[in-house]
A and B are shown apart, each in its own frame.
Chain A
Amino acid sequence: MSLFVAAFGFGLVSMSVIALAAVGFTMQFGITNMINLAYGEVMIASAYVAYYIDQTGISIWVAMIGGAIFGAVFSFLINRFIYAPFMRKGTANLGMVIVSLAVSLMIANLLLPIVGYYSVSYRERFGSIVRLGSVVLTVNQMLIIALAVVVMLAIHALLRYTRLGKAMRATAANPTLARSSGIPTQRVIDIVWLITGALCGLAGTVAGLDSETFAIASGAGFLITALAAAVLGGAGQPYGAMVGAVVIGMVTELSAAAWSPDYKQVVAFGILVVVMVLRPQGLLAKRGALAAAG
């Protein structure tokens, strides 16, 4: 029983990391209609930027901001100079997916000679342990959970209570109508790439911290988890991605406790498949902040 309680605590950490990644990924799709398969590589590139800052002696919690800024600027530039020109030419959705896959491979192969294939770790990976009954968490893990909660609340506030959030929702629902209504949709999309890129960078750094070590090859794993949570919750729906993160994060940890760890991803992705069969639009489609009215 104590293992299940411990796994529940670890599930809280996992879902926090996944939520940070999945919300940014799903917002990119929801507002820009772009399935960005380079998301995982931007995460890992940002994690390395934070690592190099961390190595200068600056706390990882400060270096994380550097990772987020890099993620924001890098994502913005990728969209502005690669994705947007293809979209202007009317490239179909599948074509854009292939373009993003190509970008992903290019980033990975450009990074490899720079960072090498050796694993790296942040300096502050070992924190004091806090025991709450059978739940054992490090201070760093508790800070990750707190960070995720703050970021999710901030996303909620942004989408619900700000003019920018309303403009984002309008752009997501119907970009042509939004533009006709005077919303500068191009500027909105630029801002979306900056915000979601920052989330991507933040998520990459947090995932690197949570994993103890990370390497250039870690990006693919980050992407798959974020993609699964986003699809499970309802593609394009930030709240759906949050729910998806909870399900994926908890199920992977609890199933590892209940059965062999061999099955933890099988169970998580099995649930994803079942949900897709029963509810192809995802768990929270039409309820999320970016859902079309009616």
Chain B
Amino acid sequence: MNTFRARMRFGQAAISTLAVVVLAACGGSNTPSGGGLGSGDLLVGVLAPFSGTDAGLGPAYYAACLAAAPSINSNGGVGGRQVKCQQFDTRGEPADAAPAANQMIASNSNLMAVVGCTSDEASAVAPIVDKAHVPMFCMTGQTEFNKTKLTYFHRLVPADIYDAYAMVGSALYGPGHSPYGRIALVFGDDIGSQAFVDPATNALKKLGKTVQNFPIHLGSSTFRTEVTNMLNFKPDVIFTEALGSAGTYLGEVKSLNGNKMIPFIGTSATIDPVWFQDVSQAIGVNDLVQYYGGVDLGYTFSGPAYDEFLTNLNAAASVFPKAPTYKQRGSTLHLYDGIIMTALAMIATNSSDPKVYNPKIKEIANGVSGAQVVTTYKDGVAALHAGKSIRFVGAGGENFFDQYNNSQSGYILVKYDAQGNEVTVAQLTPEQTKTISDAGGI
């Protein structure tokens, strides 16, 4: 009987524990007052996973802020106001992200922008941040934001559907191989990850290829049965992302395939030092260099904007030692640009009220007729003070926001070198891109 009671106590305690774990907080919103640029420090909230399975994502965005802040602060700040960066950990879970977003907004009346908000939590936090009228730059490719009505939402990375088409392009037109005929799709079984599957499947099938979806449950400790099932399909190439689980999955592919890898093509999110480390540890750096192909936006990694970004990123190592490893991380470049565009928008409107400067961000990114192209915050401020309109082309290159604040540009095909640097191997031509998108049904 005592034993039975002990079991019941165990069960009660376990249930209570779960209840504690899922406790969610609620919060409010704030609206900074407008009228001039005000005084005191400004804050950029880095709202992203810094712990949990996707803990590797947040640091890339934090690095962007650490690089952007000195670009602004050493050039007079935003009307004299210094920009600071602060992490707000979402743990990659909507249940943790919503309270984190509410706490961030409730505790900081000086928020000038929010960066981060990955596919893990964007659906939960974007409406909260939007309601608080704070411009945000989110790192999510989720389809639901393709035609979002959130006016403070900005996306400088492509929607997943474009990544999917670029991967198809890599499989069909990539250098060093004949077009692949049998393609295995290996993405997480969550809604966000599966967004790659339908467009890729549609395009590949209409172009006469054989394709099969092999979803995996991200975070599982092994995928042996799933890998065996996938290998039975005898694919020529694997399309994947599998953030957080790529090392385990691809390591098992190599192990169960007789210590021989199969070519694999990754999304633009796989151009990431954490992903590189994960996979290179699992399959060996030589196999990663040989068998991996990726897709990415067409960065040049050169020019005055990139040089300033790189200088500041390297200097940020004193605060965050891993910062320099993000020198070729697309999202780091884009968020750096997003923060600087926001600061320029504040200068342009002479306002710290987001309702006033938010619309100006798009104008500065896209440019208007006769706008002067600037590549640094310093040049942008000088041009604005000279009464000119500006178009900011930053470290991540040109931006083209559509009516839903989604920015989209062309793709390149890339590989890694042994040190984890991105190497461009080809560029998709407009004709190739059109063939794929027509087949996929855009």
Residues of A at the B interface (CB closer than 8 Å) are 3, 6-7, 10, 13-14, 17, 29, 33, 35, 37, 93-94, 97-98, 101, 108-109, 112, 116-121, 125-126, 129, 136, 138, 173-174, 207, 210-213, 215-218, 220-222, 225, 227, 231, 234-236, 253-254, 256-257, 260-262, 264-265, 276, 280-282, 285-286, 291-292
Given A121-B247, A285-B4 in contact, is the A3-B274 Cβ separation under 8 Å? no
B contact patch SS = helix
B residues less than 8 Å from A173 (CB atoms): 2
A residues less than 8 Å from B277 (CB atoms): 118-119
Given A94-B13, A217-B53, A261-B215 in contact, is the A6-B225 Cβ separation under 8 Å? yes
**Can you name the residue of chain A whose Cβ is closest to the Cβ of B190?**
A262
A residues less than 8 Å from B149 (CB atoms): none
* Of B10, B12, B222, B225, the contact of A29 (CB 8 Å cutoff): B10
- Is the CB of B181 closer than 8 A to any CB of chain A? no
B217 touches A253 (CB 8 A): no
A112 to B281, alpha carbons, bound, how many Å?
19
B278 touches A97 (CB 8 A): no
- Is the CB of B385 closer than 8 A to any CB of chain A? no
**Can you name the residue of chain A whose Cβ is closest to the Cβ of B221?**
A211
Q: Closest CB of chain A to B24's CB: distance in Å?
A: 16
Task: Flag B1-23 by CB within 8 Å of A: 1 or 0 each.
Answer: 01110111111111011001100
Interface segment, B28-36, B104-112, B252-260? B252-260
B residues less than 8 Å from A108 (CB atoms): 51
* Of A17, A138, A260, the contact of B255 (CB 8 Å cutoff): A138
A residues less than 8 Å from B52 (CB atoms): 217, 220
Interface segment, B226-234, B338-346, B388-396, B410-418? B226-234
B17 touches A225 (CB 8 A): no
Q: Closest CB of chain A to B247's CB: distance in Å?
A: 3
Of residues 320 through 344 on chain B, the ones whose CB sits less than 8 Å from some CB of chain A are 322
B residues less than 8 Å from A29 (CB atoms): 10
20 contacts between A and B (CB under 8 A): A10-B224, A97-B13, A98-B17, A101-B20, A101-B21, A117-B274, A129-B256, A129-B259, A212-B247, A215-B55, A217-B52, A217-B244, A221-B220, A231-B10, A235-B7, A253-B225, A257-B229, A261-B216, A262-B215, A285-B4
Given A109-B51, A213-B281, A217-B51 in contact, is the A117-B221 Cβ separation under 8 Å? no
A3 to B230, alpha carbons, bound, how many Å?
10
Given A116-B322, A280-B7, A285-B4 in contact, is the A262-B217 Cβ separation under 8 Å? yes
Residues of B at the A interface (CB closer than 8 Å) are 2-4, 6-14, 16-17, 20-21, 51-53, 55-56, 59, 189, 214-217, 219-226, 228-229, 232, 244, 247-248, 251-252, 254-256, 258-259, 274, 277-278, 281-282, 322
Lowest 4 A-B CB distances belong to which pairs? A212-B251, A213-B247, A119-B278, A121-B281
A212 touches B189 (CB 8 A): no
Given A213-B248, A262-B217, A280-B7 in contact, is the A6-B228 Cβ separation under 8 Å? yes
A256 touches B11 (CB 8 A): no
A residues less than 8 Å from B8 (CB atoms): 280
Extra contacts, 9 of them, besides A121-B251, A264-B217, A282-B7 (Cβ < 8 A), are A6-B228, A10-B222, A37-B17, A119-B277, A210-B221, A222-B221, A227-B14, A231-B14, A276-B11
**Can you name the residue of chain B whose Cβ is closest to the Cβ of A208?**
B221
A residues less than 8 Å from B224 (CB atoms): 6-7, 10, 13, 253
A213 touches B216 (CB 8 A): no
Most buried by A among B6, B221, B254: B221
B residues less than 8 Å from A253 (CB atoms): 224-225
Q: Closest CB of chain B to A290's CB: distance in Å?
A: 9
A143 to B244, alpha carbons, bound, how many Å?
27
Most buried by B among A109, A112, A116, A236: A116
* Of A35, A215, A254, the contact of B10 (CB 8 Å cutoff): A35
B226 touches A261 (CB 8 A): yes
Q: Closest CB of chain A to B52's CB: distance in Å?
A: 6
A residues less than 8 Å from B247 (CB atoms): 119, 121, 212-213
Given A212-B248, A261-B217 in contact, is the A10-B6 Cβ separation under 8 Å? no
**Can you name the residue of chain A whose Cβ is closest to the Cβ of B58?**
A117
A residues less than 8 Å from B248 (CB atoms): 211-213
B2 touches A292 (CB 8 A): yes
B residues less than 8 Å from A218 (CB atoms): 221
A280 to B3, alpha carbons, bound, how many Å?
12
B residues less than 8 Å from A262 (CB atoms): 189, 215, 217
A93 touches B9 (CB 8 A): yes
B232 touches A236 (CB 8 A): no
A93 touches B17 (CB 8 A): no
B226 touches A3 (CB 8 A): no
**Can you name the residue of chain A whose Cβ is closest to the Cβ of B6?**
A236
* Of A35, A117, A260, A261, the contact of B14 (CB 8 Å cutoff): A35
B217 touches A210 (CB 8 A): no
Q: Closest CB of chain A to B197's CB: distance in Å?
A: 13
A150 to B288, alpha carbons, bound, how many Å?
37
**Can you name the residue of chain B whose Cβ is closest to the Cβ of A225?**
B221
Q: Closest CB of chain A to B21's CB: distance in Å?
A: 8
**Can you name the residue of chain B whose Cβ is closest to the Cβ of A127?**
B255
A213 to B248, alpha carbons, bound, how many Å?
5
A residues less than 8 Å from B223 (CB atoms): 261
A residues less than 8 Å from B229 (CB atoms): 3, 256-257
B16 touches A285 (CB 8 A): no
A74 to B108, alpha carbons, bound, how many Å?
40
B255 touches A212 (CB 8 A): yes
B residues less than 8 Å from A292 (CB atoms): 2-3
A residues less than 8 Å from B216 (CB atoms): 261
B residues less than 8 Å from A260 (CB atoms): 189, 215
A136 touches B281 (CB 8 A): no
